[in-house]
Amino acid sequence: MRIGVDARNLTTSMTGIGRYVLEMSRHLAQLGHELYFYLPQRPYGDPAELPAAKVRVAHASSSMRRMIWAQGELPRLAAEDDLDVFWGPAHRLPLFLDPRIARVITIHDMVWRNMASTMRWQTWMADRLLMKPGVLIADEIVADSTATARALTNEFPAIGKKLSVVHPGLTTIKGITTTDGLTRLGIADRYILFVGTLEPRKNLLRLLKAYASLPESTRRQYLLVLAGGQGWRLRDLTGYIRDLRIEPFVRLTGYVSDTDLSFLYTHARFLAMPSLYEGFGFPIIEANAMGIPVLTSNSSSMPEVAGKAGILIDPNSVQSIRNGLEDLTSNEDLYARLVEQARPNASRFDWKKSAQALEVIFEKAMHKRLQLRSE
């Protein structure tokens, strides 16, 4: 198959969706398919780390130029490359693709519909305006989770049978797992770990408030480590921590490398991820793969991903989060049962299987497109 990929998510530092695009593409290439990457500007980092693909790079750095590229230059290049299928791996499809090209779109979440207040307005507007036409013109639609598929069906009832669920796979976070790295990050004690961008949807303020309400003896026993780059609307997080009087017990690491992330997962008591909404939640299975359980929310995709390797809390209740933190720091029998389930839960998610499932969906889309052309 000649597969075109809208690879714009590879132009920034690695995110969950960027990892999805990279790993799914890598495994599609390993299945023997010919990939074409279309990017509005040069990829972030070392291009040699990209999967085997023909790369088409434009010079569209501004939002307006990227939009013109996506709806004009990209469809032209896709036609010239004689693609069998075009894949929009993140909520978008060009509206004017050559009618001979099958088209598939992946939807990761419905944050714009269900959690609009947690988004930057530019991102909210783009998803609101571009997701619907992408879904409607797609021959096949892929959702990351059953929860996202259900939300999609509620929003767009007409999509019918062209919707499939394909879970992402697990990318093993590799690195050296010595304690030297912990010392460098100012961590000398046992700790609870949060991993993710520091932004409103991650529910950090409630997590911090719940942590602050624990007995001081528990906080002395387990620090709270927040690992992730600064997002938006949480610029005074240090001030909030100071107001809660928990400065001695909280560590902000900033964005961390995979090596640092590896030993942070390895030495943590558990992962705390009480997000308000997640389309999937890669840190859940990354933590499980390192043998640690999770505290996560009872909403959207998180119960589906955590399986039996975590406890579920109400993300809107500080008391519920506190109870979960207390259970995982003090109930050794519960903790041991969850640890036992951690690695088996992570093993459910495999990029090779995900790529094989996507391959079948591409074939279905091509068959539909062929039928349309013969009518």
pLDDT band at residue 284 under the 50/70/90 scheme: very high
184-188, 207-211, 338-342: which range is least confident on average?
184-188
In percent, the amount of the chain with pLDDT more than 90 equals 71
Confidence of residue 2 (pLDDT cuts 50, 70, 90): very high
Among 102-116, 180-194, 275-289, the range scoring the smallest mean pLDDT is 180-194
C-alpha distances (whole Å) from 276 to each of 195, 323, 374 are 14, 17, 47
Residue 373 has pLDDT above 80, yes or no: no
Q: What is the DSSP string of 35-61?
A: EEEEESSPPSS-GGGSPS-EEEE----
> Does residue 302 contact residue 313 with C-beta atoms inside 8 Å?
no
Relative to beta strand 223-227, strand 250-254 is parallel
Please state, rounded to an integer, the average pLDDT across all residues of the chain.
91
Question: In the block, which residue shows the tokens 């069998």?
Answer: 84
- Using CA of residue 353, residue 354, residue 357, residue 359, what is the dihedral sign? negative
In the predicted model, what is the mean pLDDT of residues 47-53?
84
**Residue 235: its pLDDT value, please?**
64
- Examine the pLDDT at 233 and tell me if it is beyond 70: no
Q: Could you tell me the pTM of the whole model?
A: 0.91
Calculate mean pLDDT across residues 287-303. Answer: 97
Hey, do 2-169+350-374 and 180-346 end up sharing a CATH topology, with the first three levels equal? yes
Mean pLDDT of 244-273: 93
Residue position matching structure tokens 């590229």: 69
Continuous H helices in 56-105: 63-68, 74-80
Order across the sheet with 54-57: list the strands: 54-57, 34-39, 2-6, 85-88, 102-107, 140-143, 163-165
| Domain assignments of the chain as residue spans, ordered by start | 2-169+350-374, 180-346
What are 169-188's pLDDT values in tens digits? 999 887 655 556 677 777 87
Helix then strand then coil, in percent of the chain rounded to 5, is: 50, 15, 35
What is the three-class DSSP state of 245?
Answer: coil
Within 13 A of 219's CA, how many CA atoms are on the CB side?
18
What CA–CA distance (Å, rounded) separates 191 from 224?
Answer: 6
**% pLDDT > 70, the chain:** 95
Q: Residues 313-341: what's their mean pLDDT?
A: 98
Q: Which residues have CB under 8 Å from 93's CB, separation 6+?
A: 6, 86, 103, 105, 133, 134, 137, 138
**CATH of span 2-169+350-374:** 3.40.50.2000
Q: What is the pLDDT of residue 62?
A: 84
pLDDT band at 372 (very low <50, low <70, confident <90, very high): confident
Task: List the Cα angle 228/110/146 in 5-degree steps.
Answer: 95
Domain 180-346 has CATH 3.40.50.2000: yes
